[in-house]
Amino acid sequence: MFKHLSAVPGDPLLALIIAHRNDPNPNKVDLGVGVYKDDNGNTPILNSVKKAEAILLQQEDSKSYLGINGAPEFAAVIQELLLGKDNTIIKDKRIFSAQTPGGTGALKVAADFIGSSLPNPKIWVSDPTWGNHLPIFRSAGLSIETYPYYDPETNGVRFDDMMKTLKADAKAGDTILLHACCHNPTGVDLSFEQWQEVTSFVAERGLLPLVDAAYQGFGDGLDEDMAGLRHMASIIPNMLICNSFSKNFGIYRERCGGLSVIAETSEEASNAYSIIGLAIRANYSMPPAHGAAVVYTIMNDPELKAEWVEEVSAMRNRINTLRNQLVEKLAASNTKKDFSFIRAQRGMFSYSGLTVDQVHTLRNDYSIYIADTGRMNVAGITDNNIDYLCDAIATVVG
Catalytic residues: 130, 212, 247
Q: Is 293 exposed, middle or buried (0-12, 13-18, 19+ CB in 10 A)?
A: buried
Collect all residues with Cβ–Cβ distance below 8 Å to 130 and sequence separation of at least 6: 179, 184, 185, 212, 214
Does position 350 interact with ligand PMP (CB under 6 A)? The reply is no
Q: Least distance in Å: CB of 43 to ligand PMP?
A: 13
Q: Is 19 exposed, middle or buried (0-12, 13-18, 19+ CB in 10 A)?
A: middle
Q: Which stretch binds ligand PMP (CB under 6 A): 14-22, 74-82, 101-109, 202-210?
A: 101-109
Does position 165 interact with ligand PMP (CB under 6 A)? The reply is no
**Given candidates 28, 83, 97, 103, which one binds ligand PMP under the rule CB under 6 A?**
103
Which amino acid, residue 280?
I
Q: Phi/psi of residue 12, each to 5°?
A: -60, -30
Q: Least distance in Å: CB of 257 to ligand PMP?
A: 5
**Given candidates 32, 102, 128, 380, which one binds ligand PMP under the rule CB under 6 A?**
102
Which amino acid, residue 306?
A
User: Residue 8: helix, strand or coil by DSSP?
Assistant: coil
User: Residue 385: helix, strand or coil by DSSP?
Assistant: coil
Does position 244 interact with ligand PMP (CB under 6 A)? The reply is yes
Helix (H) or strand (E) holding 179, with range, is strand 175-179
Nearer to ligand PMP (CB atom), residue 51 or residue 183: 183
Nearer to ligand PMP (CB atom), residue 243 or residue 358: 243
Nearer to ligand PMP (CB atom), residue 149 or residue 366: 149
Q: Which stretch binds ligand PMP (CB under 6 A): 1-9, 97-105, 277-285, 386-394?
A: 97-105
**Given candidates 187, 219, 228, 257, which one binds ligand PMP under the rule CB under 6 A?**
257
Does position 214 interact with ligand PMP (CB under 6 A)? The reply is yes
**Given candidates 30, 112, 174, 212, which one binds ligand PMP under the rule CB under 6 A?**
212
C-alpha 200/C-alpha 198 separation (Å) is 6
In the chain, DSSP finds a helix count (H) and a strand count (E) of 14, 13
Nearer to ligand PMP (CB atom), residue 103 or residue 287: 103
Q: Read out DSSP for 335-364?
A: -SS--GGGGT--SSEEE----HHHHHHHHH
Does position 380 interact with ligand PMP (CB under 6 A)? The reply is no
Contacts of ligand PMP in 17-36 (CB under 6 A): 34
User: Residue 150: helix, strand or coil by DSSP?
Assistant: strand
**Given candidates 246, 297, 320, 345, which one binds ligand PMP under the rule CB under 6 A?**
246
Q: Least distance in Å: CB of 11 to ligand PMP?
A: 12
Burial code of 310-323, b = ≥16 C-beta within 10 A, e = fewer?
A: ebbeebbebbbebb
Q: Least distance in Å: CB of 214 to ligand PMP?
A: 4
Does position 184 interact with ligand PMP (CB under 6 A)? The reply is yes
C-alpha 304/C-alpha 310 separation (Å) is 10
Q: Which stretch binds ligand PMP (CB under 6 A): 4-12, 98-106, 309-317, 333-341?
A: 98-106
Please report, as ranges, the residues that interact with ligand PMP according to CB under 6 A: 34, 102-104, 130, 179, 184, 212, 214, 244, 246, 252, 257
